[in-house]
Amino acid sequence: MSSISISSKGNMMSSSSAPAGLGLSSGRLFTVGLVSSWYLSNIGVLLLNKYLLSNYGFKYPIFLTMCHMSACSLFSYVAIAWLRVVPMQAVRSRLQLLKISALGLVFCASVVSGNVSLRYLPVSFNQAVGATTPFFTAVFAYLITVRREAWITYLTLVPVVTGVVIASGGEPSFHLFGFIMCIGATAARALKSVLQGILLSSEGEKLNSMNLLLYMAPIAVVLLLPATLYMEENVVGTTIALARKDTKIVWYLLFNSSLAYFVNLTNFLVTKHTSALTLQVLGNAKGAVAVVVSILIFKNPVSVTGMLGYTLTVIGVILYGESKKRNK
């Protein structure tokens, strides 16, 4: 009897531990799948933007951004209102809507400037400049909120900036206007993150990133429509004429716009299932992967000096993240 009892207990233990192991394994696979999807969508939209705006010759960065925002508007509504990926958060007041609109304007400036820069700069250099986001975040945080960081945190920003200066000097495809646009995109991205923390800081106004995108994306479309019609003359007619000659442009735009939304969705899900710090570490690695992939695909010339500068910037960003974590 006792042997049967022991045997049954052993079986029960092994049967209960198996699902737990399977659950842990499936959880890890899910996280790996999420991170892989985030990497693929981020790098994919970046490379496709570069291909359309530079190699393919579709020279309409504002219109391309408007396509992205239109897709984000549609897919955000489907994901939140129909699929209930996250609970819908309502806009509570006109003042909150005004704040969201201000963020939408800065967001537009960031995406448009980034797309414009891709017309003139290789992805590798674009990513090197984009890695200086922590520098601009620290500057805007100090100027707007007068919030000071520890001196060691500011010290880590020295290699961040120095690396970009070195990379700029060693970049064979350097273009001044493209560089200015890329700096503008990076600064606008940092400004949005600082303003978001200030404008939507009260408990009644906090929105998760998916709900914020739901409200910002349509506002961005409204802002971008007159801009593209005025600044990119006959863009609709040219796009239609191009589509008649080559239908692939339609599929490029549809896929590219869908990827733009998927970047935001996977960014939210990776943060939710890991942590903001993990996302930061993965983001640093993503930039390096994007640089390597873009060089392999577009075969743009790179110099040893440029790669050393980019490496120094990434090291500075990692040190900045560590410093912020320790001084919390």
User: How does residue 201 score in pLDDT terms, banded at 50, 70 and 90?
Assistant: confident
The upper half-sphere exposure of residue 161, i.e. CA atoms within 13 Å in the direction of its Cβ, equals 10
| Per-residue confidence (pLDDT) for residue 165, from 0 to 100 | 94
- Tell whether the model's pLDDT for residue 10 goes beyond 70: no
Give the residue among 73, 95, 67 at the shortest CA–CA distance from 218: 73
| Per-residue confidence (pLDDT) for residue 146, from 0 to 100 | 81
* pTM of the predicted model as reported, rounded to 2 decimal places: 0.87
User: How does residue 279 score in pLDDT terms, banded at 50, 70 and 90?
Assistant: confident
Range in 3-7, 112-116, 135-139, 154-158 with the lowest mean pLDDT: 3-7
Higher pLDDT, 253 or 55: 253
Range in 28-37, 52-61, 101-110 with the lowest mean pLDDT: 28-37
Domain ranges of the chain: 45-326
- Tell whether the model's pLDDT for residue 121 goes beyond 90: yes
| Per-residue confidence (pLDDT) for residue 328, from 0 to 100 | 66
Residue 66 CB neighbour total at 10 angstroms? 26
User: How does residue 24 score in pLDDT terms, banded at 50, 70 and 90?
Assistant: low
| Per-residue confidence (pLDDT) for residue 22, from 0 to 100 | 57
Sign of CA dihedral 245, 246, 251, 253: negative
The mean pLDDT value for 13-31 works out to: 61
For helices 133-145 and 176-199, angle between their N-to-C axes, nearest 10 degrees? 50
Query: Residues 138, 143, 147, 150: what is their CA dihedral angle, to the nearest 10 degrees?
Result: 40
Q: Mapping DSSP to helix (H, G, I), strand (E, B) and coil, where does residue 4 land?
A: helix
Give percent of the chain with pLDDT exceeding 70: 91
